[in-house]
């Protein structure tokens, strides 16, 4: 018996129902397949990639595209379900029949379609395509809604020089398949070939019910090569991480506008431990890497304020403030209220704020801040609401790591703005 989807289509929040303004009234759903039994990399779909769970990249792109009535993750694993929900997706709990090593993607998509009769068009988004951007989904869906296509799939332009495979090396020589060896093409003189990159497949319900993802009136959507990242094996991970940091989609808020970092003192800058000397003096330990990270931010015009829930000795607070060259706010019992007061006083919006928290009282600030992070050793409740999860623990380089992340995104955004300016001036 097939497992039922746990959230009915009637319970989709308005925030998740934003769509492109067209006359097409069909329900278009995004479906991300994320089985727990990956043979290559255990639980690959939720492994951290550049501070974000792998499926988090495509869930964010799908939600921010605004073209889907609903965004789903299909899984058979409790932990993947937890991460999917934390990132804003609904969950289709797939049946054991379509969760085996021999099950095809189409088997699962057909099960989802059967259990959700209100869905008219399904977009199968590959979880292992972390450089997917909302704009590509927006443009591709128009082939369905405005041009009447039945299926649309993503491709990338490649330039392979292909040769005939030799199965019997004794009796057969190889032959060229798409080139003349006497006139080898230069890249700039050859249009190349269009190859599926697997990032996404739009298909109508009628096609899916026939066991097809491509058929009827078909169209391809060509993606940029830098956005065509597919993670298959563990050795791809470091390469993919660098590609994502350079070409990935980090959300609607523009990181170049971050003007203020709010950071927890205990559990952020320090590891949360307070040492008491024999004569009763309080002491904490700070990492020079974290101090350097704060200095880097301040050099780029980002102010830093440290927050502390509990009171600490005035002498210690004064020394810390002087050493870190930043303000310390103590007795901050209501983090959200205090941050909103600071923002109002400084005339800032949430998109201009970065926040490093570490526990349940930080959840709302982590959700609302333009950029947010938690140390590696923060509780799960904090992990679930942060936009970036550090590889380093509190008091051991987490602040430095988040500072580098902020500055990298600001540099990337400024570079893109400059490129856009050049393009406008050129054309």
Q: What is the set of active-site residues?
A: 184
Counting beta carbons within 10 angstroms of the beta carbon of residue 144, is it exposed (0 to 12), middle (13 to 18) or buried (19 or more)? buried
* Partner residues linked to 163 by β-bridges: 176
CA distance 60 to 57: 5
**Judging by DSSP bridges, how do beta strands 193-204 and 121-125 pair with one another?**
antiparallel
Instruction: Return the closest-CA partner of residue 290 out of 258, 268, 273, 275.
Output: 268
CA distance 354 to 371: 5
CA atoms within 13 A of residue 254's CA, in its CB half-sphere: 8
CA distance 208 to 174: 39
> In this structure, is the dihedral angle defined by the CA atoms of residues 325, 330, 333 and 339, taken in order, positive or negative?
negative
CA distance 407 to 415: 12
* Partner residues linked to 155 by β-bridges: 196, 222
Report residue 192 as tokens: 């190349």
Report residue 169 as tokens: 């090396």
Q: Please answer whether residues 257 and 352 qualify as being in contact, where contact means their C-beta atoms are separated by less than 8 angstroms.
A: yes
Report residue 70 as tokens: 């609903």
CA distance 33 to 106: 10
* Partner residues linked to 281 by β-bridges: none
**Judging by DSSP bridges, how do beta strands 327-329 and 48-49 pair with one another?**
unpaired
Report residue 135 as tokens: 């704009």
Q: Please answer whether residues 177 and 164 qualify as being in contact, where contact means their C-beta atoms are separated by less than 8 angstroms.
A: yes
Neighbours of 385 (CB within 10 A): 19
Coil vs helix vs strand at 321: helix
CA distance 317 to 12: 47
């Amino acid at each position: 018996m097939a497992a039922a989807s746990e959230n009915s289509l009637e319970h989709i929040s308005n925030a998740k129902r934003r769509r492109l303004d067209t006359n097409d009234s069909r329900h278009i759903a995004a479906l991300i397949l994320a089985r727990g039994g990956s043979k290559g990399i255990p639980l690959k779909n939720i492994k951290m990639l550049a501070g974000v769970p792998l499926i988090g990249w495509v869930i964010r792109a799908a939600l921010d595209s605004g073209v889907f009535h609903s965004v789903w993750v299909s899984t058979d694993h409790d932990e993947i379900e937890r991460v999917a929900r934390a990132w804003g997706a609904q969950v289709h709990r797939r049946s054991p029949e379509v969760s085996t090593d021999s099950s095809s993607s189409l088997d699962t998509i057909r099960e989802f379609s059967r259990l959700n009769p209100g869905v008219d068009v399904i977009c199968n988004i590959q979880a292992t395509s972390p450089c997917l951007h909302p704009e590509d989904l927006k443009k591709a869906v128009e082939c369905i809604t405005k041009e009447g296509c039945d299926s649309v799939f993503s491709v990338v332009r490649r330039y392979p020089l292909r040769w005939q495979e030799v199965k019997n090396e004794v009796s057969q020589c190889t032959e060229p398949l798409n080139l003349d060896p006497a006139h080898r093409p230069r890249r700039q003189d050859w249009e190349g070939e269009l190859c599926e990159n697997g990032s996404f497949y739009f298909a109508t319900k009628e096609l899916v019910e026939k066991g097809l993802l491509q058929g009827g009136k078909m169209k391809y959507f060509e993606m940029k090569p830098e956005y065509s990242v597919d993670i298959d094996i563990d050795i791809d991970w470091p390469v993919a991480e660098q590609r994502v940091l350079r070409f990935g989609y980090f959300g609607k808020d523009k990181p170049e506008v971050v003007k203020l970092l709010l950071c927890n003192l205990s559990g952020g800058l320090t590891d949360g431990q307070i040492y008491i000397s024999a004569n009763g003096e309080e002491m904490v330990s700070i990492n020079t890497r974290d101090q350097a990270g704060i200095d880097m931010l301040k050099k780029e015009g980002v102010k830093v304020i440290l927050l502390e829930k509990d009171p600490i000795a005035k002498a210690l607070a004064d020394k810390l403030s002087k050493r870190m060259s930043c303000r310390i706010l103590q007795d901050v019992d209501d983090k959200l209220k205090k941050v909103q007061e600071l923002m109002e006083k400084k005339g800032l919006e949430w998109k201009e704020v970065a926040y490093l928290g570490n526990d349940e009282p930080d959840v709302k600030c982590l959700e609302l801040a333009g950029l947010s992070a938690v140390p590696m050793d923060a509780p799960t409740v904090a992990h679930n609401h942060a936009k970036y999860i550090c590889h380093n623990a509190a008091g051991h380089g987490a602040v430095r790591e988040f500072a580098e992340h902020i500055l990298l995104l600001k540099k990337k955004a400024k570079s893109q703005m400059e490129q856009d300016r050049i393009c406008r001036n050129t054309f």
